[in-house]
Structure 1
Amino acid sequence: MDTDVLIVGAGPTGMTLANEFLMTGVSTVLVDKLPQRSDLSKAGGVQSRTLEGLDQRGLLEPLLATGDHPVTTGHFAGVPLPHDPDRHRLPWRAVPQVVIEGFFEQHLAARGLHARRNHELVGLVQDDDQVTATFANGATVRSRYLVAADGAHSTVRSLLRAAFPGQPGTLTIIAADVRLEGADPSTSHTWNEDGHWAALFPLGTDPQGRPLRRLVLGGPGRSLPREIPVTKDEIRHGLSTVFGSRVQLSELRYARRITNASRQVEHYRHGRVFLAGDAAHVHLPLGAQGMNTGIQDAFNLGWKLAAAVHGWAPENLLDTYHAERHPAGAAALRNVRAQSLLMDWAGTRDPEVLAARETFRALAQLPDVQNHLADLMSGMAIRYPMPGTGLHPLVGRPAPDLDLGPVRVHELLRSGRGILLDPADTHAKVADSWSDRVDRAGQGADTEPMLIRPDGYVCWAGTDNPEPALAHWFGEPR
């Protein structure tokens, strides 16, 4: 073997996964077909659950220290979803994808892992023991496992001939990074009577401290073929149509056309090859869910592949990646489709769509509805399927960030190991049998006993014996 894991694609998903492997001592090769990192911002927001995951790896504070990344709000179909600190510890942040990629590139390089650029995958063969990948530049890499994080047009997915069912793109809209004059900072989504609309999201500031925005434009006549370049005049006309003369374009940094295609692979695992991020699911970029869902794929898969490499993974642990993340990806696709309908992306002004939208806006003011939507868009609504019946309400959900006295739960998870919270100090003997992969903590703390996986999800809680859960998720006792 040349390496334990080969990661194809050095975007947010691939680099998050590479960091997981570095932390757990798994040898890793990270490749990308591009000669250098993209300077396109692409996604622009980081949701609460992703921020928690970064915090659980000690990466959040250094990431936010890279520049001005203001707190922002999520939305569902253009209806703002204010942050509730009693429900979500960390509010959304405006951190462009280009910043996240640059941060991870430096973080990985400081630890000795550099992406191998100009590596275009052209061949892939696997057997019972390894995966052999060949590249257009003549390189060959043999690995125990391979992860495809190579985007919506994944070469790995094509070489696997993996089914990618769903809805093809039927229209395009414009997404651009801009600097504007006259735009209200509180403005997010605006529609006019003719069906033209604009959405504005913060992207921090430029080196001169001037605010940057992500601008999205749609409506009648806006849907043009993806290959047609977006011009400044087209952006100016779109702004004028929606805002009149009060909002002016000062600078256009980049613009592209995006489609409403919605697809998901049938299987996230193909033997020793795993699909993650946009290689596994694509949809309209609403709420940065593509990037955030991909990063969560990486957090879920990383510790499981590390367990397999180190030899303690229980049977079927790797299969739980598909069992847990495929439904999460499908849920993202469903809510994006619902949002695109309610937002009338095509600008049809269909009376039935408008009536549904007004009804939805009224419902979205109800606290319970708003909480549900905020959980959905923040990534906090996910509850992974877990074995057993009558499960504790915490099981399958993100672990609460409890104060354990000298430390908090998110700080304990920076080890990349499992955590057994044992407030009554009754499980020392059991925990000792898994002490090479699970840390025991929380003795004397005011909390319930619980077992937390390395990805920050609770897999056991309550007063019964934790030994079956330890064996199920962390393998045979040593």
Structure 2
Amino acid sequence: MDTDVLIVGAGPTGMTLANELLMAGVSTVLVDKLSQRSDLSKAGGVQSRTLEALDQRGLLKPLLATGDHPVTTGHFAGIPLPLHSNRHRLPWRSVPQVVIEGFFEQHLAAHGLHARRDHELVGIAQHDDGVTATFANGATLRSRYLVAADGAHSTVRTLLRAGFPGQPGTATITAADVRLSGVDPSTSHTWTEDGHWAALFPLGTDPQGRQLRRLVLGGPGQSLPRETPVTENDIRHGLSTVFGTRVHLLELRYARRITNASRQVEQYRHGRVFLAGDAAHVHLPLGAQGMNTGMQDALNLGWKLGAAVHGWAPKNLLDTYHAERHPAGAAVLRNVRAQSLLMDWAGTRDPDVLAAREIFTGMAQLPDVQHHLADLMSGMAIRYPMPGTETHPLVGRPAPDLDLGPARVHELLRSGHGILLDPADTFARVAGPWSDRVDRAGQGADAEPMLIRPDGYVCWAGADDLEPALDRWFGEPG
């Protein structure tokens, strides 16, 4: 084997996975067909659950030190959620994808992992013990496992002939990175009576300290073929249609047309090949969920591949990647479709849609509704299906960040091991045989006993039957 794991695609999903595998001590090769990293902002925000995961890896503080990344109030279908930013320990932040990629590229390079560029995949072949990948430049790589993180038009997905059902793109909207004048800082979504609309989100500042924004334009006349170039005149016309003479374009940095396609692969695992990120699911970029969902795919898969490579993975552990992440991806597709309907993003001005939006806008003022939507959009509502979810409210959910005295839970997870919180010091004998994979902590703390996986999710809590949970998630005793 040339490497344990080959990752195809050096975007946020691929680089997040590469970091997880580095932590797990797994040899990894990261390839990308581009000759250099893209300088386009693409995705614009990082949700609470992803921020928690970065904090658990010790990466959040240095990431936020890369520039101005303001906390942003959330929305659902353009309806503001004022309580969103106070709902979770780490609120939604505006961190463009280009910043995420640059940060991970430097972090991985500091640990000796550099993406191999100009590697366009043209073929894969699976064997009993691995996968052979061939590239247009003549290179060949053999790995024990291969992960497709190569985007919405995934070559790996095509070569696998993987089922990718869903709704094809029927219309487009325009997204652009711009500098504007005349913008009310409190403005996020604006509609006109005839169905045109614009959305504005902060992207921080450029090196000269000038405010950058993501602009999205939709409504009648905006839907053109995806390949049609977006010009400065297109942006100016869209701005004048929505804002009149109040808002002006100062600089257009990047623009593209986005379709409303909504698809998800039928299976996230194909033997020794796994699909993650946009290779596994595509949808409209509403609520900053696309990049975050892909990074969460990587966080779920990384420690499981590490367990398989090191030989202690329990039976069917790798299958839980599909069992856990497919429903999570499907939930994102559902809420995005609901948002696109309530936004009337095509500008139909359908009276039924407008009536539904009016009712929903009123409901969204209720704190309980805002909390529900904040959990849904942030990734904090995910509850993985696993034994114990029927009986204990913590099982399957992200671990609470408890203060255990010497350290908080998120600091303990930086080891890459599982964590057993054992406040009464009663499980030393039971957990001892797994001490190479599970760290015991929390003695004397005011906490409930719980077992936390390396990805930060609780997989057991309570007082009984710890050993079956250790077997199920951490394999046979050492």
TM-score, scaled to structure 1:
0.99
Relative to structure 1, the CA distance from residue 135 to residue 164 in structure 2 (aligned partners, 3 Å threshold; closer, same or farther) is same
Alignment of 1:63-462 (within 5 A): 63-83=63-83, 87-388=87-388, 390-462=390-462
1:279 and 1:369 map into 2 onto residues whose CA distance is 32
1:224 and 1:383 map into 2 onto residues whose CA distance is 39
2:426 and 2:85 map into 1 onto residues whose CA distance is 33
Residue in 2 aligned with 1:36? 36
Counterpart of 1:318 in structure 2: which amino acid? L
Once the two structures are superposed, residues 126-164 of structure 1 have per-residue CA deviations (whole angstroms, 9 ceiling, x without a partner) of: 011010000000000000000000000000000000010
Bigger Cα displacement from structure 2, 90-99 vs 387-396: 387-396
Once the two structures are superposed, residues 93-113 of structure 1 have per-residue CA deviations (whole angstroms, 9 ceiling, x without a partner) of: 000000000000000001000
1:297 and 1:82 map into 2 onto residues whose CA distance is 28
2:141 and 2:82 map into 1 onto residues whose CA distance is 47
Once the two structures are superposed, residues 420-444 of structure 1 have per-residue CA deviations (whole angstroms, 9 ceiling, x without a partner) of: 0000000011121100000000000
Counterpart of 1:175 in structure 2: which amino acid? A
Name the SS of the counterpart of 1:151 in structure 2: coil
Name the SS of the counterpart of 1:472 in structure 2: helix
Name the SS of the counterpart of 1:433 in structure 2: helix
CA contact (8 A) 2:71 2:85 kept: no
CA contact (8 A) 2:17 2:299 kept: yes
| Structure 2 unaligned spans of 5+ | none
| Structure 1 unaligned spans of 5+ | none
CA contact (8 A) 1:83 1:91 kept: no
2:476 and 2:10 map into 1 onto residues whose CA distance is 34
Counterpart of 1:257 in structure 2: which amino acid? R
1:353 and 1:57 map into 2 onto residues whose CA distance is 43
Deviation at 1:79, TM superposition (A): 1.2
1:173 and 1:52 map into 2 onto residues whose CA distance is 31
Once the two structures are superposed, residues 72-107 of structure 1 have per-residue CA deviations (whole angstroms, 9 ceiling, x without a partner) of: 122110112235577411011000000000000000
Alignment of 1:1-16 (within 5 A): 1-16=1-16
Q: CA RMSD in A?
A: 0.9
1:265 and 1:379 map into 2 onto residues whose CA distance is 20
User: 1:61 and 2:61 equivalent?
Assistant: yes
Name the SS of the counterpart of 2:434 in structure 1: coil
1:156 and 1:181 map into 2 onto residues whose CA distance is 43
Deviation at 1:391, TM superposition (A): 2.2
1:86 and 1:238 map into 2 onto residues whose CA distance is 33
Deviation at 1:317, TM superposition (A): 0.2
Once the two structures are superposed, residues 265-292 of structure 1 have per-residue CA deviations (whole angstroms, 9 ceiling, x without a partner) of: 0000000000000000000011121100
Deviation at 1:210, TM superposition (A): 1.1
CA contact (8 A) 1:180 1:247 kept: yes
1:381 and 1:123 map into 2 onto residues whose CA distance is 38
2:423 and 2:378 map into 1 onto residues whose CA distance is 30
1:87 and 1:231 map into 2 onto residues whose CA distance is 39
1:464 and 1:325 map into 2 onto residues whose CA distance is 28
User: 1:48 and 2:48 equivalent?
Assistant: yes
Deviation at 1:227, TM superposition (A): 1.3
Counterpart of 1:465 in structure 2: which amino acid? D
Deviation at 1:465, TM superposition (A): 2.9
CA contact (8 A) 1:74 1:378 kept: no
Once the two structures are superposed, residues 429-460 of structure 1 have per-residue CA deviations (whole angstroms, 9 ceiling, x without a partner) of: 11211000000000000000000000000000
Counterpart of 1:395 in structure 2: which amino acid? V
2:189 and 2:467 map into 1 onto residues whose CA distance is 51
2:335 and 2:84 map into 1 onto residues whose CA distance is 21
1:84 and 1:288 map into 2 onto residues whose CA distance is 13
Deviation at 1:34, TM superposition (A): 0.4
Counterpart of 1:393 in structure 2: which amino acid? P
Bigger Cα displacement from structure 2, 460-469 vs 125-134: 460-469
1:417 and 1:68 map into 2 onto residues whose CA distance is 32
Relative to structure 1, the CA distance from residue 367 to residue 165 in structure 2 (aligned partners, 3 Å threshold; closer, same or farther) is same
Name the SS of the counterpart of 2:33 in structure 1: coil
Relative to structure 1, the CA distance from residue 34 to residue 85 in structure 2 (aligned partners, 3 Å threshold; closer, same or farther) is closer
Name the SS of the counterpart of 1:201 in structure 2: strand
1:225 and 1:85 map into 2 onto residues whose CA distance is 36
CA contact (8 A) 2:314 2:475 kept: yes
CA contact (8 A) 2:300 2:455 kept: yes
1:86 and 1:201 map into 2 onto residues whose CA distance is 19
Relative to structure 1, the CA distance from residue 363 to residue 456 in structure 2 (aligned partners, 3 Å threshold; closer, same or farther) is same
Once the two structures are superposed, residues 321-347 of structure 1 have per-residue CA deviations (whole angstroms, 9 ceiling, x without a partner) of: 000000000000000000000000110
Counterpart of 2:313 in structure 1: which amino acid? A
Name the SS of the counterpart of 2:253 in structure 1: strand
Counterpart of 1:65 in structure 2: which amino acid? A
2:416 and 2:286 map into 1 onto residues whose CA distance is 31
2:179 and 2:406 map into 1 onto residues whose CA distance is 45
Name the SS of the counterpart of 2:394 in structure 1: coil
1:47 and 1:389 map into 2 onto residues whose CA distance is 24
1:100 and 1:187 map into 2 onto residues whose CA distance is 25
Over the matched positions of the two proteins, sequence identity in percent amounts to: 87
Counterpart of 2:205 in structure 1: which amino acid? T
2:306 and 2:255 map into 1 onto residues whose CA distance is 39
